[in-house]
């Protein structure tokens, strides 16, 4: 069979364009051969304020215990005082309140009665002498009646004075007992109130300490959040710097694909075949697109 010779029109880009594409493919090959390590994630640690707040929180645990201990002792003392007021009144305590001058007053009254009785005896004797009946039975009866009356009056006076003194002593002792009980109850209430205030002080101290700790921790948490933002921004900048060459190459490839080629045509005789340069450029563009899609940051 005779050879068939075909004429073929070969379209080629200008030399400067081919050089740009060749340079582009070399750079793509270089980037493709590099290992792109992802930017490292970093977590901001606890700030000094947060660490101090943790220490304060640990030190503040049980800070109220001494106050509660003091409050418990106060309640115990108050309970003992109040329990002591439950005792009954002792009537024998009235002896301590008896008027020591009562016997002297009574003795003085008896002496006055004796003096008056002696005067009456003398008057009775004078009358009997005048009547000539001195030493008679009638005189004796009158004398006996006068003595018996004096004894009755003296006995009544003694009993009256003692009874009055004892009644006053009982009233004084009762008043003193009631006043003492009232004072003890008031003291018990005051000590119990002091115990309550001590317990409240412990609670307030603990609450204030927790408030300071929370404030310090929250302030430190805000600082930690700011540090985390700075770390994230640094990582993003590193990531963008790492991907910048690939983005530039992608943009460069887009520019080359959209640039008019200013192609020239020549005629030559050859077997039909595809342009090797076009195959390389097409393959490089596809490889770059696949690489960018795989390594695109999110």
pLDDT digits (tens, 9 = 90+) for 132-183: 555 555 556 666 666 677 677 877 888 888 888 888 888 888 999 889 889 9
Sequence-separated (6 or more) residues with CB below 8 Å from residue 32: 287, 291
Q: Is the confidence at residue 22, as pLDDT, over 90?
A: no
User: Is the residue at 279 inside a domain?
Assistant: no
Q: What is the pLDDT of residue 134?
A: 52
Question: Does 17 or 83 have the greater pLDDT score?
Answer: 83
Give the residue numbers spanning the domain of 53: 36-262
User: Is the residue at 3 inside a domain?
Assistant: no
Q: What is the pLDDT of residue 36?
A: 64
Domain count, the chain: 1
User: Is the residue at 25 inside a domain?
Assistant: no
Mean pLDDT score, 242-247: 73
User: Is the residue at 109 inside a domain?
Assistant: yes
User: Is the residue at 44 inside a domain?
Assistant: yes
Distances (CA, A) of 225 to 52, 221, 231, 234, 294: 17, 6, 10, 14, 32
pLDDT digits (tens, 9 = 90+) for 79-125: 988 888 888 888 888 888 888 777 777 778 777 777 777 777 676 66
Q: How many other CB atoms are there within 10 angstroms of residue 147's CB atom?
A: 12
Split at pLDDT 50, 70, 90, the class of 199 is very high
Q: Is the confidence at residue 56, as pLDDT, over 70?
A: yes
Q: At what angle do helices 15-32 and 276-295 cross, to 10 degrees?
A: 40
pLDDT digits (tens, 9 = 90+) for 174-189: 999 889 889 988 999 9
Q: What is the pLDDT of residue 253?
A: 73
Q: What share of the chain in percent tops pLDDT 90?
A: 23
What distance in Å separates the CA atoms of residue 67 and residue 201, rounded to the nearest whole number? 7
Nearest CA to 34 out of 236, 243, 239 is that of 243
User: Is the residue at 54 inside a domain?
Assistant: yes
**pLDDT mean across residues, the chain:** 75
What distance in Å separates the CA atoms of residue 140 and residue 121, rounded to the nearest whole number? 11
User: Is the residue at 181 inside a domain?
Assistant: yes
């Amino acid at each position: 069979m005779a050879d068939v010779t075909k004429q073929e029109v070969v379209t080629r880009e200008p030399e400067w364009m081919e050089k740009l594409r060749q340079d582009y493919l070399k750079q793509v090959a270089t980037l493709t051969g590099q290992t792109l390590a992802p930017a490292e994630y970093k977590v901001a640690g606890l700030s000094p304020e947060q660490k101090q707040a943790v220490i304060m929180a640990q030190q503040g645990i049980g800070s109220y215990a001494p106050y509660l201990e003091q409050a418990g002792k106060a309640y115990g003392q108050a309970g003992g005082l109040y329990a002591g007021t439950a005792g009954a009144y002792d009537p024998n305590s009235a002896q301590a309140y008896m008027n020591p001058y009562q016997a002297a007053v009574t003795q003085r009254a008896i002496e006055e009665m004796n003096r008056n009785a002696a005067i009456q005896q003398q008057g009775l004797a004078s009358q009997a002498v005048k009547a000539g009946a001195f030493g008679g039975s009638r005189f004796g009866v009158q004398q006996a009646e006068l003595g018996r009356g004096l004894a009755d009056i003296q006995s009544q006076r003694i009993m009256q004075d003692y009874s009055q003194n004892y009644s006053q002593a009982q009233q004084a002792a009762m008043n003193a007992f009631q006043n003492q009980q009232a004072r003890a109850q008031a003291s018990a209430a005051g000590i119990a109130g002091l115990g309550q205030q001590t317990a409240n002080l412990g609670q307030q101290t603990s609450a204030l300490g927790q408030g300071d700790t929370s404030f310090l921790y929250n302030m430190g948490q805000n600082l930690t959040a700011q540090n985390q933002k700075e770390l994230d921004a640094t990582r993003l900048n590193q990531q963008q710097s790492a991907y910048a060459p690939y983005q530039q190459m992608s943009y460069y490839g887009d520019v080359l694909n959209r640039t008019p080629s200013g192609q020239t045509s020549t005629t030559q005789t050859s077997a039909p075949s595809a342009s090797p340069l076009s195959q390389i450029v097409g393959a490089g563009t596809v490889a770059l697109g696949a690489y960018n899609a795989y390594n695109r940051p999110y």
